[in-house]
Structure 1
Amino acid sequence: MKRYSAGSGQKALHLVRLVSKLPDDKDAVTAALDYWTSWETEFPIIASAKALEILSRRIQWRRIIQVSKWMLRKGQVLTMGTCDTLLLVLDRDDRLEEAEELRRRTPDMEELGVRPDDDTVRRVSSAFANWGEFKNQKLVLRKYQNKWKYLHFNGERVRVRAAEEQ
């Protein structure tokens, strides 16, 4: 996997231009993305992440979903950042079934030692509450919510118990 960022900004812009002018067809987008990486010896991780960020700023939710899913199908960048972005976009696009499918992949990420950050935990638990699945909401909070948080008080860093959400 490519980890250096030389030229990644230009590659990201090229990817954004490429997917932005495509029809909203999964096969067309997949073919274009496959072509985009066909000349690469290693998967351009940094350029892909930058492209997702650009698409997010341009509020192109469907393109973010298409590119993220393509990356996951390729077995690339299975990180909490990618999953968090995808969950957020699926929620904004009212694709709750797909968000649930992505949530089911969480055990795979646990095996890799990847834990969700506090923001992701809040979003997932909030989504469960919106769906009326309070049992799953409590399970997510109990399993992933940090018990402690750090505050700065009188110039010192102090550890305090985090308030539990219900």
Structure 2
Amino acid sequence: MLMLKHYSPLDFVARLPFLKPPKKVSNLVVCAAKGPRPRYPRVWKTRTKIGTVSKSLKLVECIKGLSNVKEEVYGALDSFIAWDLEFPLITVKKALKSLEHEKEWKRIIQVTKWMLSKGQGKTMGSYYLLLSALAEDGRIDEAEELWTKLFSDNLQSMPRIFFDRMIAIYYKRDMHDKMFEVFADMEELGIRPTVSIVNMVGDVFQKLGMLDKYQKLKRKYPPPKWEYRYIKGKRVKIRSQNLKERKDEFSNETENNEDSNSDESEVDEGGESEISPAAP
């Protein structure tokens, strides 16, 4: 008499090796009736882009052909975001970045002021971009008004890049008194100036003949021995390249001062030797 052993469906499937799923997933697409086929790279590429990048490009193209009339630009921007449920802050920020890359300073000022009038994007980055655009466009009075407002509102938490920017603006336009005022505010607040700020202020001291203040400035803020740079996305500490050159400059200056002092002493000694024999 034949006995048939009972197997469960799971045991039956486990005993069939050809039904086991593969361990490694290959880059194959299984068709309905023709089996697997390899995936080839695409010959063509779509031009349609999805997301905030394409929207920011459309925003830039929308305002580029307009005039500089405030009402026209603001109206175009309002109509652009009319169907958005929320303010597209990321889109506007990316549009400002592209405008900054193209150095469209007037458009940057218009878009930033429109964004701030909506109560959006009130960050230090937006104010810094607006300050830079006003300076590049030659509107120094508006830049100074913005700087005064920001400095009075954020007296204890003002970023150092704003001081650097204002000193650079005054340095390019030979506005030395205002540059010294900003530098004095930095020292009063205990903000250590960067190398660029020290070089600009020291250059002005040399132009005006204030060599004593120049030497005091260099003693108080010596050049750094180390610099931090980003190499392949990592912050790396390296030795300053300009340190040796600056040391050579200081050594040359000290040697010149010593030579001048020695010449003066020789002249004094010679004068005394000439006068002493003639004495009665």
- TM-score of the superposed pair, with normalisation by structure 2: 0.46
Q: Which of residues 60, 70, 81 in structure 2 aligns to 1:37?
A: 81
TM-superposition CA deviations, 1:100-128 (whole Å, max 9, x none) = 121133157528x9642x43321123334
Give the number of the structure whose alpha-carbon radius of gyration is greater: 2
Specify the alignment match of 1:94 in structure 2: 138
Gaps of 5+ in 1: 1-5, 158-166
Q: Which has the higher contact order (CA 8 A, sep 6+)?
A: 1
Pair 85,147 (structure 1): closer, same or farther in 2 beyond 3 Å: closer
Query: What is the identity, as a one-letter code, of the residue corresponding to 1:126?
Result: A
Cα RMSD of the aligned pairs, angstroms, is 2.9
Q: Provide the C-alpha distance between the structure 1 equivalents of 2:166 and 2:106, rounded to a whole number of angstroms.
A: 20
Q: Which of residues 83, 97, 100 in structure 2 aligns to 1:56?
A: 100
Gaps of 5+ in 2: 1-49, 195-223, 229-235, 239-280
Q: Does 1:78 align with 2:125?
A: no
| Preserved contact between residue 16 and residue 55 of structure 1 (Cα < 8 Å) | yes
Specify the alignment match of 2:167 in structure 1: 125
* Superposed displacement of residue 142, structure 1: 4.1
Specify the alignment match of 1:17 in structure 2: 61
Q: Secondary structure at the match of 1:105?
A: helix
| Preserved contact between residue 115 and residue 144 of structure 1 (Cα < 8 Å) | no
Q: Secondary structure at the match of 1:56?
A: helix
Q: Secondary structure at the match of 1:122?
A: helix
**More off after superposition, 137-146 vs 76-85:** 137-146
Query: What is the identity, as a one-letter code, of the residue corresponding to 1:139?
Result: D
| Preserved contact between residue 71 and residue 77 of structure 1 (Cα < 8 Å) | yes
Specify the alignment match of 2:181 in structure 1: 135
Identical-pair percentage:
33
Q: Secondary structure at the match of 1:38?
A: coil
| Preserved contact between residue 63 and residue 76 of structure 2 (Cα < 8 Å) | yes
Pair 41,142 (structure 1): closer, same or farther in 2 beyond 3 Å: farther
| Preserved contact between residue 128 and residue 136 of structure 1 (Cα < 8 Å) | no
